[in-house]
Chain A
Amino acid sequence: MRAGISGAAYTLDRQIAGGMDAVVQDVIQRALADAAIQLADVDMVITVASDALDGMMVPVRSDMAGGFGKSYLNIPSSAGHALMAAASSIEAGDAETVLLVGWGAASKLAEFDSRTNQFDPFYLRPLGASVATLQAMQEQSLIDQGLISREDVGLLASRMSEITWGKSEPATFCDGAAAIVLQQNAAGLIFDHIGFASRAQIPLDGNLDPAIWVEEVTKKLEDPGFIEICGQSPSFELRALAAIPGAKRTNAHGGSSQGWFGPASPLRNLAALHAAAGESGRQSGLLIDLAGPLGQHVTAIQFRAGGSHAA
């Protein structure tokens, strides 16, 4: 009894004026239409969104996300965690149709990055810890080890920006929303295997190379077809890409380092994969979510094509 994707939709923009509610409800309606179902057919709603980006508690807005009357969960830590939760709920028989909705208005972070609040106030913040400094530390460590170069990072960011926005203007933050409909043995991409692993805020073993973490969760996978790797920084997307043996079509939808709207960002890539799988008949693929300031919460979801997408 494997969960799979029946429908999906997303919206992405550099900056969305006027709030996210209408955008969220639009992607929900489009995802439901893609799945050829009504909201009434959904029995569970899972949201992925940050209180900090919304400015108010996400679970209090569950009805905005289609949750009224449904069984509801909010899992703001990452899209990978929410996807695992949805799959497990379906596989356990606790839900038949899950609507997974994620959104975020992260464009504001370009002016003031409030993610500094993620660091403990006793030791890390007094040292000046922030997402930017940690990622800079990680990138320098990878450069010092000869694993990447700044030129490589810049080239990747430029290429991902072209794919995501149609032009080379690297910039991380944007606004977006995505909705995924999951059902048992759906017609779309089936969740075949899920691997996951996490490291501490500052990894205790001193390793800052995302390739190690990605290898750990993907070692059971064989010959993945399409790959989409999503992280907050191009440097750890770069290392994660290098860790996949036999990687062929990689980040055809731009990853998320150049289109990051919060923890839900990989849902946008998943929606794009779903749509592309229908068009091209791709048979299998891999979505990797690298959540956290160092990409240290890794979820790898291997897909195979379901009924309508099978060759």
Chain B
Amino acid sequence: MRHKDDMAAILGVAQVPMRTRIPEMTYPDLLATVAARAVEDAGLARDEIDGLILAQAPTATLGVDEPQYWGIAGLPGAHAFLGRVHVAAASGLSAVRLAASYVASGRAKHVLVVAADLADEGDSLRGALAQMHDPFTSGQAPINAITAAALQSTHYMATHGVSERIFAAPIVKNRLNGVGNPYAQLRKPVTAEEVLDSPVLSWPIKRLESSPRTSGAAAVVIGKANSKRSVRIEGFGNFAGAKSIGAQMVPGWTSYLDGSDVTQAAQRAYSAAGISNPQQELDFAEVYTSFSIFELLSIEGLGLCAKGEAARRIDAGEFHRGSRLPVNATGGATCGNPISAGALVRIADATAQLRGEAGDCQVEIRHGRAVVTAIGGLFQTHEVGVLAI
């Protein structure tokens, strides 16, 4: 584990309220807005930024390839552009991991990471995301992000002997949490019945179990700690899984379906951060929940409860905002999911929590430690980060 003084830290964060459409702002406008606010939040001047990373997942939603040429003009640190990171929906956290490496290596002092998404530029978000699939092989089967998550959901039900009703639990919790989050896109609570009665997207996944189509932006400044508000990055864990179920040709390999890839990434992060008992050493978790099943697999994969137990324990009141170890206390991706910026939103929310600046969404901070996750592709690339204040 790195010494505290040698760790990279989150110095500043910013995000904009998430909405379906943000017609009054272009992509560069969004980036510039959050960039300026994050630099200000870090207590830095523009010219102190000596590195800029753009996190941008699929560009099909923007309709602009290689958006860095367009988007970074005029941003702090644009003259010292370090590249675009694209790891699908994990882009933001992967970019923060890279920024931390730059700072830890001494090649940069203050790296700004920015991301934005305009999800309503095209007719179909699902169509734009079809680029995840091989047109020659996957195109012959009805595979998309929703059907893939549905496959995970049915596997979970069969493995643990539960019904589809369990998938409502994380959604009810997160939607209630989103009510108090001024940045959330969805700020009305829902009941379990409303979730279960919503239209079926791909059985057993219902529409309200899926994150909405979201436009938004976020930015993070990484450097060595410069104030009491700095949040240290104690460790990162990344694990790239396989796109195809059974790709490793190992009998019984079910990591795609049972979330054990999350555990691999978590173990790397916990090892780097010196965490041996996450249930006792963490204050909260911000996990990526574009579908309800992702939250269940993430909670279990992070070692916050036993496999198959997450939904039952959410129903029993655990992992809620007032509980001992809240998960997605601001609503998470359930209440808004700008794909490229989503992981940076997780970072921004976690930072606010650790600083005690989360307003109506504030959780109790006892240990000063939290975990954030991001998932890229078809539940295949997993980023886990441990933050501390």
Instruction: Please list the residues of chain A having a beta carbon within 8 angstroms of any beta carbon in chain B.
Output: 45, 50-52, 55-63, 67-78, 81-82, 84-85, 87-89, 91-94, 114-115, 117-122, 194, 196-201, 204, 292-293, 297
Residue numbers in B under 8 Å from A194 (CB-CB): 107
CA distance A69 to B250 in the complex (A): 14
Q: Which residues of A contact B241 (CB under 8 A)?
A: 63, 68-69
> 25 A-B pairs, CB-CB below 8 angstroms?
A51-B131, A57-B131, A57-B377, A59-B90, A60-B377, A62-B381, A63-B247, A69-B239, A69-B264, A71-B268, A73-B94, A74-B86, A77-B68, A77-B83, A78-B83, A85-B82, A85-B83, A92-B104, A118-B65, A120-B70, A121-B63, A121-B64, A194-B107, A196-B81, A292-B69
Check if B73 sits within 8 Å of A204, measured CB to CB.
Answer: yes
- In the complex, whether B162 has a CB less than 8 A from a CB of chain A is no
Complex CA distance for A81 and B58, rounded to whole angstroms: 19
Known A71-B240, A77-B68, A121-B64; further 4 A-B contacts with Cβ < 8 A: A45-B240, A57-B88, A75-B98, A94-B100
Interface presence of B78 (CB below 8 A)? yes
Closest A residue to B58 using CB positions: A57
Across the interface, which residues of A come within 8 angstroms of B97, CB to CB? 73, 94
Whether, in the assembled complex, B275 has its beta carbon less than 8 Å from a beta carbon of chain A, the answer is no
- A residues near B78, Cβ cutoff 8 Å: 198, 200
Which of the 9-residue segments B9-17, B132-140, B315-323, B326-334 touches chain A?
B132-140
Residues on A with beta carbons closer than 8 Å to the beta carbon of B94: 72-74
Docked Cα-Cα span, A232 to B317, in Å, equals: 58
Known: A85-B98, A198-B79. A72 touches B240 (CB 8 A): yes
A interface footprint on B65-94 (CB within 8 Å = 1, 0 otherwise): 110111011100011111111111010001
B59 proximity list for chain A (CB < 8 A):
51
Contact yes or no, B64 A117, CB < 8 A:
yes
- DSSP class of B's interface residues: helix, strand, loop or mixed? mixed
B241, closest chain A residue (CB) = A68
Residues of B within 8 A of A93 (CB): 2, 104
Q: Say which residue of A63, A84, A89, A297 sits within 8 Å of B240 (CB atoms).
A: A63
Chain A residues within 8 Å of B107, by CB: 84, 87-88, 91, 194
Q: Does B378 sit at the interface, judged by CB under 8 A?
A: yes
Residues of chain B touching chain A, judged by Cβ–Cβ distance below 8 Å, are 2, 26-28, 54, 58-59, 63-66, 68-70, 72-74, 78-88, 90, 94, 97-98, 100-102, 104-107, 131-135, 236-244, 247-248, 264, 268, 376-378, 380-381
Does A61 contact B243, Cβ atoms closer than 8 Å? yes
Q: Do the beta carbons of B72 and A76 come within 8 Å of each other?
A: no
* A73 CB contacts on chain B under 8 angstroms: 85, 87, 94, 97-98
Residue of A nearest to B138 (CB): A56
Contacts of B378 in A (CB 8 A): 60
Chain A residues within an 8 Å CB radius of B102: 88, 92
C-alpha spacing A293/B66, complex, angstroms: 11
B80 near A197 (CB under 8 angstroms)? yes
Q: Given that A51-B131, A92-B104, A118-B70 are contacting pairs, would A71 and B79 also be in contact in the complex, using a CB cutoff of 8 Å?
A: no
- The complex places the Cα of A93 from the Cα of B272 at a distance, in Å, of 11
Please name the residue on chain B nearest to A114 by beta carbon: B65
Given contacts A74-B85, A85-B98, A200-B74, contact A59 B134 (CB under 8 A): no
> Residue on A with the closest CB to B52?
A198
Minimal Cβ-Cβ distance residue in B for A44? B238
Contact of A118 among B28, B64, B248 (CB under 8 A): B64
- Chain A CB count within 10 A is highest, among B54, B133, B134, for B134
CA–CA, A203 and B236, complex, Å:
36
- Cα A27 to Cα B315 in complex, Å, equals 51
Known contacts being A60-B243, A77-B68, is A55 close to B58, with CB within 8 Å?
no
Q: Is the CB of B247 within 8 A of A94?
A: no
Do residues A69 and B240 form an inter-chain contact, with CB atoms below 8 A? yes
User: CA of A201 to CA of B377 in the docked complex: distance in angstroms?
Assistant: 29
Question: Complex Cα distance A61/B73, Å?
Answer: 30
Nearest residue, chain A, Cβ from B90: A59
Q: B238 contacts which chain A residues (CB < 8 A)?
A: 71-72
Given A56-B132, A69-B264, decide whether A293 and B87 contact each other with a Cβ distance below 8 A: no
Q: Max chain A CB contacts within 10 Å: which of B63, B80, B87?
A: B87
Q: Are A94 and B377 in contact (CB under 8 A)?
A: no
